Structure 1
Amino acid sequence: MRQRLRLGLAALLLLAAGFGLGWVLHKPAINARLYAQNRLIAVQVHLDEAPPDYVFLAGDSQAELQPPAQRPCGLELVNGGVSGASAAVYADLVETLTFKDRPRAAMLSIGTNDLMLKNHPLDPKAAAQFEASVTRILRRLLAVTDHLVVTALPPVGRNLARYLEPGAVGAYSERLRTLCERLGCRFADPFADLRDGDSGFAKPGAMRDGLHLAAYRPALRALAPALCGAGPR
């Protein structure tokens, strides 16, 4: 068992080392699943050893890249983010996780990897598939926590206009808001200060590479009122 864990973690490090922007934009979803298989070993280990009271982060790289030393709501942070995961990929992944103890709160940030132009995100069929996948994620997380916060999609850099659909940023965020109203989670936008109006694009300097935030701690701090408050909404 220990040998398998060491091999899995080693593979995780190798995959993460090569997990650049080009990987996300050009490689097929099977690579995201390959990375996730190893990433989830570390996530499950942390879940198994977490204290009874903790905060769980779920989603794609917008969750995984949050610095682990932070203590939202004064609690330990268990990071279940998987870089490169689309909503459909993460819906499958989150169902494989076992929660020994219920997190006091959970955050979901998902959708960035669903914005790729090649997937035609504004097509009604693609948008409906996104909503169906997110619904699966929300139902799974609401089964293990009484307090779930879902974030809007962050904006994207203008340098990625060839690859991503900025118009889907607002459209998919509104779908997330509507789902939370229906299912009983809380919707929040910790990226509001980064947006260049309603364009879907980010203000200059807000993004590190057009896809990832220049700084992640401010986003988690902005979530504190929603994440640490009482009640589902």
Structure 2
Amino acid sequence: MTHCSLARSPDRDNPIRPDGASARRWLLALLAIVPLALVFGSVVGFAIGRFATAAPSYRDQRLAQVSGDLRRVDGDYLLALGDSHVARWQARELCGLPMINAGLHGATTADADAFLARLSLPHRPRAIILAVGTNDANRKRFREPPEAAIRFRHAFHALLRQVIGRSELILVATMPRIEASQDAVFSTQAATDIAASAEAACRKEATCRVADRFGDAMPRMDGLHLADYERAYREIAPAICGAIAGHLTEDLPPGQTVGAGRP
């Protein structure tokens, strides 16, 4: 009678174990992977951190700056709003009143409207000075000049509605003339139509006044921006201050003089 061997396979009692060389290879592979994983994790974390703490935009920075200036206002003040023709103006006082500059480089009329909507005014300013329209004449924003004028009228109407609700008086400073050297980028025809549209819209409002036009003889630095904004605004200051004083006189009770009870 044949007997089958019941002896267990040596493989069952002694599972395969890596020899010394295999163990070393596993260890080396692990040592190589761990630093790579750490580096990858650091890169991902840095990228996420940068995304989460992205630098604020220029307009957000300006919003913070202007909001800070407004918080320090005590009493009557003026607010200047517009594009670089305002942003480049360094004065902080006009007509004997502190002036808050809310100018934005490169702003269109719609941009100025949106920026003002984000501002929390402590109280109504004595007047808001507007200087907008130049960037609406940039050729990249329209196909033909009449289209630019139409778009501006809609944007300016919206801006005018907002400033009328937030100020005692609106003063529109007509934008400086654009020189022919800038005609490849800015349409002088569109700019002329835009300036005329702004003046016409302002004159229809009881609380809106058109300030004197910046003189055409005023030196330019690049065919677009004025070389000396302090001088330019000093030249139209009499019209601005006269409009403010005149508007105040209209609001005074009989017998009260301009400035009475005001700083």
Q: List, as ranges, runs of 4+ consecutive aligned residues in structure 1 with deviation greater than 6 Å.
A: none
Q: Deviations over 1:158-207 (max 9, x none)?
A: 3222111111222111101111112231112331343xxxxxxxx7xx11
Structure 2 partner of 1:223? 236
Percent pairwise identity = 31
Count of paired positions: 192
* 1:47-66 pair list within 5 angstroms: 47-66=70-89
Matched, 1:109 2:131: yes
Matches within 5 A, 1:29-68: 34-68=57-91
The aligned runs of 1:172-211 (5 Å cut-off) are 172-184=194-206, 185-194=208-217, 206-211=219-224
1:4-38: per-residue Cα shift (whole Å, max 9, x none)? Answer: xxxxxxx57xxxxxxxxxxxxxxxxxxxxx42122
Q: Partners in 2 of 1:165 and 1:218 — Cα distance? A: 26
- From the superposition, tell whether residues 121 and 176 of structure 1 become closer, same or farther in structure 2 (CA, over 3 Å): farther
TM-score (norm 2): 0.67
Question: In the TM superposition, what whole-angstrom CA distance separates every residue of 1:84-126 from its partner, at most 9, and x where no partner exists?
Answer: 1111222211111111122112210001111112223754333
8 Å Cα contact 1:53/1:76 also seen in 2: yes
Distance in 2, matches of 1:44 and 1:152, equals: 26
- Work out the CA distance in 2 between the residues paired with 1:231 and 1:119: 37
Identify the structure with bigger relative contact order (alpha carbons < 8 Å, sequence gap 6+): 1
Q: Distance in 2 between matches of 1:46 and 1:56?
A: 11
- 1:207-229 per-position Cα deviation (integer Å, ceiling 9, x unaligned): 11222110001221122233222
- Specify the alignment match of 1:22 in structure 2: none
Are 2:162 and 1:153 aligned? Answer: no
Structure 1: how far apart are the matches of 2:238 and 2:115?
Answer: 28
Partner of 1:141: 163
**Residue 231 of structure 1: SS of its match in structure 2?**
helix
Structure 1 unmatched ranges of 5 or more: 1-10, 13-33, 195-202
| CA distance, structure 2, for counterparts of residue 178 and residue 121 of structure 1 | 24
Higher Rg: 2
1:42-69 per-position Cα deviation (integer Å, ceiling 9, x unaligned): 0111112112111110001101110134
Is 1:116–1:165's contact at 8 Å kept on the other side of the alignment?
yes
Q: Structure 2: which 5+ residue stretches go unaligned?
A: 1-54, 251-263
- Structure 1 stretch 114-123 or stretch 173-182: which is displaced more? 114-123
Alignment of 1:130 with 2:152, yes or no, is: yes
Whole-Å separation in 1 of the counterparts to 2:106 and 2:94: 24
Q: How many Å separate the matches in 2 of 1:158 and 1:128?
A: 23
TM-score, normalised on structure 1?
Answer: 0.75
Structure 1 CA distance for aligned equivalents of residues 173 and 144 of structure 2: 19
Q: What pairs with 1:19-98 in structure 2 (closer than 5 Å)?
A: 34-69=57-92, 71-98=93-120
Which amino acid is 2:247 matched to? G
